[in-house]
Amino acid sequence: MGKRKRSGLWMFLVLIFVLLFSVPVSATPVSEHGALSVSGTSLVDANGKTVQLKGVSTHGIAWFPEYINKEAFKSLRDDWGANAVRLAMYTEEYGGYCSNGSKSQLKKKIQEGVQAATDLGMYVIIDWHVLSDQNPNKHKSNAIAFFKEMAGKYKNQSNVLYEICTEPNGGTSWAQVKSYAEAVIKEIRAIDANAVILIGTPTWSQDVDTAAKNPIKGYRNLMYTFHFYAATHKETYRKKLETAVKAGLPVFVSEYGVCEASGNGSVNQTEADKWFALLNRYGISYMAWNLSNKNETSSLLKSSCKKTSGWSASDLSKSGAYVVKQMKGNLSGSSTGGTSNGSSSSGTASSGASSKVKSIKASKKYCTVSVKKDGSWKKGKRYYTLYRVTIRNKSKYNISSWKMRIKFKYAVKKSDKWNGSFTFKKNYVTIRPVSWNKKIAPKGKDTSVGFIVSSAKKKNPVVSVVWQ
C-alpha cells in the first residue's frame, strides 16, 4: 500500500509540474480557422464562422524579392496583426512573368512565399497581377499553365487562395473577364475542387456591381475583387461595393491604399475610416498595398528603412502606421507619420522652417538631374528601356517648380510613365511634375519619377538632359 501511495503521489507531482512548466502552443490563423470556403457573401472557416482575412500585399516580387522571407511574414503576423499575405507577381511589366521575367525564378519566389506563410500558419494569396496588359485574355494560355501548376502543387493545402487577374482595365468588359475566368477556373477545379478563387473585375477591379448582375455559375468558393485608394475613391465607390454585396456577390478587397490611386499623393485617413466601417460591417477581407520601401506613399515602409523584417513603429510610413493600426498590431518604437509622398528622404515636403525660405524654379545653377537606365529588354522588333530620374536640389532655396527635356539619339515611343506629366515627341521626352512632387526642399531630392520607352535601335543613348 505504501508503495502505491508513493507512486500515486509521484504521478500527482509530475502532473503538477507539467501543468506549471509546459509551454502552450499558440494558435495560428490556419490552425484556428482551417480551410476556408464561401457561404453566401461571406468567407467562412472550417466551422462555418465568418472570417475576415486582413493582411498585406507584397509589391512586385521581381522588384522587391527581399521581403519574401519567413522573418518578414512573422513580423506581419506577430507585430502587425496580419493573418494573410498576398504575393504579387506582375505579368507584363519589366520583369513580368509574360514579358522578360524568368518564369523559373518567379515561381521559385512564389514557392518560397507560400512555404513561409505555411510554416507560420498564415493564409497566402497567389496573385496573377494583370495591369499594363489590361485584358487578361492576352496571356490566358500562360495563366492556365501557371495555375494548373500551382493547383497541382498546393491542392492538399488549406491556406492557399488564387487571384487569377488583378486589375482588368483599358475598356476590358466584364464579358471578356468572365470568359477568361471561366477558362482558368475550369482548369484549377479539375485539380483542386475547393480552394477559394478571387476574380478581378473591370476598371481596375472596381466594377463589382456589374459583375453582380451576371456572376459566374457552376462553381463554389468564388469571390470577386474590389480595389480602392481612399484619397481618390470615395462615396460613389462605396455605393458600388455595397450594391454588389446587397445583390449577393461575395467580395474580397485584395488591394487597398489610404493614398491616391496613383500610389502617391496625400493620405486621407478620414475617407479610409469610412471604408473600414463599411468593410467591417459586411465582414469583407482586405489586403494593404504594399510591403516595400519604394519611394511612394502607398509603401508601408519609409524609403530610408533598410530592414526586411522586425520593423518598429519608426520604420513605418504614414500609410504603414494606418494599416498596422487597422489590423490592431502592436509595434515597439515611437509612432511615425512619414511624409506626404511616402518618402522620408526625398526632401519634397515644404514645411516648418523651409516654408519661410525663398522659392525658385529649378535650373542648372541650383539643381542636378540624372536619368539612369534600370533595365532593358526586347519585345518583337522593338527594344524597351526603363529609366529612373533623380532630381537633387543643391541650393539653400525651395524649388517651387521644375521642367526638363531629355534628348535621345534616336526616336522613342512611350511605353509607360509614372509620377510626372510627360510629353513624348520624336527623340525627346519632356517631363513636368505632378502636384505632390512639384516642390523640393533645400538639399532635398526626388527619386519618384520614371518612364519606359521603346526604340527601333538596340542602343539609343541619352544625348542630353536640360532644364526648361
With beta carbons less than 8 A apart as the criterion, state whether 29 and 76 touch. Answer: no
Alpha carbon of 142 to those of 51, 114, 160, 256, 449: distances in Å?
Answer: 32, 20, 20, 27, 31
32 in active site = no
Give the integer Cα–Cα distance in Å for 53 and 29. 9
- The one catalytic residue in 92, 93, 163, 167 is 167
Cα separation, 302 vs 291, in Å, equals 10
Q: Which of 87, 173, 174, 169 is nearest to 130 (CA)?
A: 169
- Of 255, 260, 271, 296, the active-site residue reads 255
Coil, helix or strand for 63? coil
Virtual torsion, Cα 298, 303, 308, 314, nearest 10 deg: -90
Query: Cα(423)–Cα(430) distance, rounded to whole angstroms?
Result: 5
Strand, helix or coil at 324?
Answer: helix
What length is written for the chain? 468
Q: How many CB atoms lie within 10 A of CB 345?
A: 13
The verdict on whether 66 is a catalytic residue reads no
Please give the biggest Cα pair distance in the chain: 103
Of 223, 212, 214, the closest CA to residue 185 belongs to 223
Query: CB atoms < 10 A from the CB of 322, how many?
Result: 25
CA distance 61 to 107: 10
User: In a 3-state reduction of DSSP, which class is residue 361?
Assistant: strand
Catalogue the active-site residues. Answer: 167, 255
